[in-house]
Chains A and B, each alone.
Chain A
Amino acid sequence: MSSRREFAMHDHSSSDRSRSGGEQPALTIRGASVTLQVAHLADADLARIEAELAAKVSQAAGLFRDAAIVIDLQEVQHLDLDLRSLARLFRTQGLIPVGVRNGSAAHHAAAQAAGLALLQGGRRVERAPAPAPPETPPPAPAPAAPPPAAPRSRLVTQPVRSGQRAFNAAGDLIVVASVNTGAEVLAAGNVHVYGPLRGRAMAGVNGDTQARILTTCMQAELVAIAGVYRSIESDLPDEVREKPAQVFLEGDRLFIEPLAAAEEPQRKKP
């Protein structure tokens, strides 16, 4: 896999809200956090990238159409890369490349010449090896490595309505209201929805494969964990549809299972 869906957060603290004489300013600049997709390149071969990107886009055209995307060059730092052609290739697929990060100095110069922004962050430290997929159902999501600071969960008490997005980049997201069709809930950690989950839910958006989506009423349009997603076009099986359910990742497969207390979950393909 040469590109992987990931979400990054950009934070700007500068803000300019000065007003003069009570007149409405023509322009205000405020810092905002924006969720972007990040494509991690593992190879500089444009033909390969193009083929794999086209395959991904065709799987979920709605998800990628006109989406802004950042290209992460960490793994191809030592390779030659034609950034102008690379950017064109993304645009051909209907994506909008907005910047690059973690490239070499030469990459960055070429990116700027190609009109792309240079972004910071997202430098991956060597991750602890993912735990081997257990034969038996995992007793509990065992944290691979204890985080340095306790992740902060975020609580949402109002309905997340169509067109709205609730995001926690630092930990779990807990919604104690409905998530309606056309809404998105995202978290670096788990996503809990105590109410109907009718919109899109994405857990582990920074790559945590242990993250889960839990809801008391599963009606989601799309679920994703650590970038592995499934759009739910046809009806869900009876045992999870409009019932308490959880979504988790094993290897590359997403499982949607009933959330039945004290019952051994059965392996079933969603």
Chain B
Amino acid sequence: MAKTIVVTSGKGGVGKTTTSASFAAGLALRGHKTAVIDFDIGLRNLDLILGCERRVVYDFVNVINGEAKLNQALIKDKRLENLYILPASQTRDKDALTLDGVSKVLHDLQHEFECEYIVCDSPAGIEKGALMALYFADEAIVVTNPEVSSVRDSDRILGILAAKSRRAVEELEPVKEHLLVARYDSRRVAIGEMLSLEDIRGILGIPILGVIPESPGVLQASNIGTPIILDDENPAAQAYSDMVDRFLGEELPLRFLEPEKRGLLKRLFGS
């Protein structure tokens, strides 16, 4: 039984697509057949972050409209044999999505392509695209940044998950919620410029799946089209790896919560 996981946030720019790409890549890296779908119709980005933008021929909307078969639109990742990407359409808008169409794509990914995990990369906002992305979710990864407006919007999206998802509408077991705190700058948290993990936990009250430290490497990775999780040296990549392991049931302590202690050599020679 495949699991459908929505990566959502309410607010834009918090790291949904970065998280979707690294989370899906992490699952694939661990041998699970995984598809990641870009629901941001009209503002397609996931293909860029995964470095397959030049291989997009057909897209999600083409499949929904019956203009292409799923296997024509699905892009197999060049680095990871278990990773498949279903890109968004850049020329349509969110109204092109229908519940029946999305439902059929999810069904086919599970039954024809035997995907174990389907990651739905939600657009920002609480409108149609976001509702479509979260509707069929079994689990939700809510991405938030340590600042007030982002946390407020995450709270809003958690309310929508509890009211408007398929599991809520059909009165099934509720969507399992996970919190991912991204762009966590421990130095700014320490001097009180950003919300602490405790503040965020206190407001949202859902379990924390991971904390991703702010890192310049994330931007570089997306510029060259590699999911950050594949960069073993980067702290954000290690934090994403931990998050994937936790999602799969491992118990790991949170890392990168304290500002890095600068060693003697670094202090002498600068960095």
Contact = CB atoms under 8 A, between A and B. Distances in A.
Q: Do A and B come from one complex?
A: yes
B196 interface: no
- DSSP majority for the A interface? loop
A24 B178 CA distance: 31
B205 A182 contact: no
Nearest to B202: A196
Interface string B155-192: 11011101100000000000000000000000000000
B203 interface: yes
B98 A24 contact: yes
A190 B10 CA distance: 32
Nearest to B174: A158
A177 interface: yes
A171 to B, nearest CB: 23
A159 B100 contact: no
Given A158-B162, A161-B162, A180 B99 contact: no
Given A161-B155, A162-B155, A180-B203, 8 more contacts: A24-B98, A159-B158, A161-B162, A162-B152, A163-B156, A163-B160, A181-B155, A182-B155
Interface in A147-206: 158-164, 177-178, 180-183, 196, 198
Interface string A85-106: 0000000000000000000000
A234 to B, nearest CB: 18
B98 A177 contact: no
A161 B159 contact: yes
B156 A178 contact: no
A177 B162 CA distance: 15
B205 A164 contact: no
20 contacts: A158-B162, A161-B156, A161-B158, A161-B159, A162-B152, A162-B155, A162-B159, A163-B159, A163-B160, A164-B163, A177-B205, A178-B203, A178-B205, A180-B152, A180-B155, A180-B203, A181-B203, A182-B155, A182-B156, A183-B159
Nearest to A159: B205
Interface in B41-59: none
A159 B159 CA distance: 9
B245 to A, nearest CB: 28
A24 B100 contact: yes
Contact of A164 (B152, B159, B203): B159
A24 B99 contact: yes
A178 B204 CA distance: 9
B156 A162 contact: yes
A23 to B, nearest CB: 8
A164 B126 CA distance: 13
Contacts of A178: 203, 205
Interface residues of A, number: 16
Q: Report the 3 A-B pairs with minimum CB-CB distance, sorted nearest first.
A: A161-B159, A162-B155, A162-B156
A164 B159 CA distance: 7
A177 B158 CA distance: 14
A162 B159 CA distance: 7
A181 B152 contact: yes
Nearest to A178: B205
Contacts of A162: 152-153, 155-156, 159
A180 B203 CA distance: 7
A178 B201 CA distance: 12
Contacts of B153: 162
* Residue of A177, A181, A198 with highest tally of chain B CB at under 10 A: A181
Interface string A39-67: 00000000000000000000000000000
Interface in A190-225: 196, 198
A182 B205 CA distance: 16
Interface centre among A160, A164, A196 (most CB of B within 10 A): A164
B179 to A, nearest CB: 13
A182 B152 contact: yes
Contacts of B155: 161-162, 180-182
Contacts of B99: 24
Contacts of A158: 162
A160 B156 CA distance: 10
A183 B99 CA distance: 28
Contacts of B162: 158, 161
A198 B152 CA distance: 12
B126 to A, nearest CB: 8
A178 B155 CA distance: 11
B228 to A, nearest CB: 30
B20 to A, nearest CB: 23
A178 B199 CA distance: 13
A35 B83 CA distance: 48
B197 to A, nearest CB: 17
A177 to B, nearest CB: 7
